[in-house]
Amino acid sequence: MEHSEFRRDLVSGEWILIAPARAHRPSEFKGAPKQTKDRTPKAKCPFEHPERDHIVIGGDLKVQKSGRTAWSILAIENRYPSVSHRRGKVISSKHGPFTTMSGAGHHELVITKEHDTNFPRLSPGGAEAVLELLKERYLALRDDPNIAFISMFHNWGRDAGASVYHPHYQLIAIPVVPPDISRSLRGSTEYFHEKGKCVHCAELAWERKEKKRIVAESDESIALAPFVSRNPFEVRIFPKRHQAYFEETGAKTLRDVARLLQKTLQRVKRKLGNPGYNFFIHTAPVKGKSEYPHYHWHIEIFPKTSTRAGFEFGTGVETNIIDPRRTADTLRS
């Protein structure tokens, strides 16, 4: 495909512009900055000895006979949180025509021991441990009655928003359902009421039949470049069996998803020249949980290979210069 095309997302109803003619050659993406250039020396890394500087709240911390500690993965409170670490009633108030709400919630980090080992370089067991600990902390945080949604994500590289080089994963529990999640829930609900089935299951069935945009597939999960991709080389990973809630996913499926996520990120690194990337987990919210059994949790991966500009900011229409089929061909080859 070389011509431009507007595509409407089944879930959100938003229009996305696919404009492959704007991509001149694959080598453009090889210029992405190497993340090793952003490397912080171990001696200056705040995560090298978290037991000394942070409150440890989960993971595999072990105190040895010598009094020293040993660990491979930990969950800690963020010392510089986006939301304040406190329980208690969330207060809403008015400021003229505006409504405000107290910024209470939880902001935690999951950190792995090795300073230079990001997610695609972890052992298979290490990758599984990351998702398992995110799940464990999700289950603990959702008990707060003020929490509506828990965001789980990973930023790798300065251009992807990572402020610390050492690999870490974040959970931010907030008292509102974010707009992107609301749109996704609304679209999936409308599709379910109209068609009587999960919108993502319908998408997966069509993609498996088309066989054009599948990046990789395993027994329990599938990675694909969405037909309506907002970003170049965007990939989504779904459990094959319908599952609305990440936190209820069984160990076998979570292990399979972790390994497919690793393999996909390894291909992103190898094929695109080691760009920064974000991945995040979309799952049904904590608030009103029983309302969304038709949702289908998944992971979205956004490599940092392009920059939004005037048209995107001015119109809200995302422009993707890489056709999703080319994304799959590149990462699959």
Count: domains in the chain: 1
Report pLDDT for 29: 42
Give the C-alpha separation, 220 to 241, whole Å: 7
Q: Looking at the domain assignment, is residue 234 inside a domain?
A: yes
Report pLDDT for 121: 95
- Say which CATH number the domain at 189 has: 3.30.428.10
Give the C-alpha separation, 260 to 249, whole Å: 15
Report pLDDT for 19: 65
Q: What is the mean pLDDT of each run of 10 residues along the chain (333 residues)?
A: 69 70 47 58 82 65 64 88 73 78 85 94 95 96 90 93 91 88 92 96 96 96 96 97 96 97 97 95 90 95 91 87 95 90
Domain of residue 188 covers 5-82+99-332
Q: Looking at the domain assignment, is residue 264 inside a domain?
A: yes
Q: Looking at the domain assignment, is residue 94 inside a domain?
A: no
Q: Of 318, 306, 315, 301, give the one whose Cα is nearest residue 24.
A: 306
Report pLDDT for 34: 53
Question: How, if at all, do strands 319-320 and 15-18 pair?
Answer: parallel
Reported as type and span, the H/E element at residue 130 is helix 124-141
Q: Looking at the domain assignment, is residue 36 inside a domain?
A: yes
Report pLDDT for 275: 94
Using an 8 Å Cβ cutoff, are 272 and 29 in contact?
A: yes
Phi, psi of 217 (to 5 degrees): -145, 145
Q: Looking at the domain assignment, is residue 92 inside a domain?
A: no
Using an 8 Å Cβ cutoff, are 31 and 273 in contact?
A: yes
Using an 8 Å Cβ cutoff, are 156 and 35 in contact?
A: yes
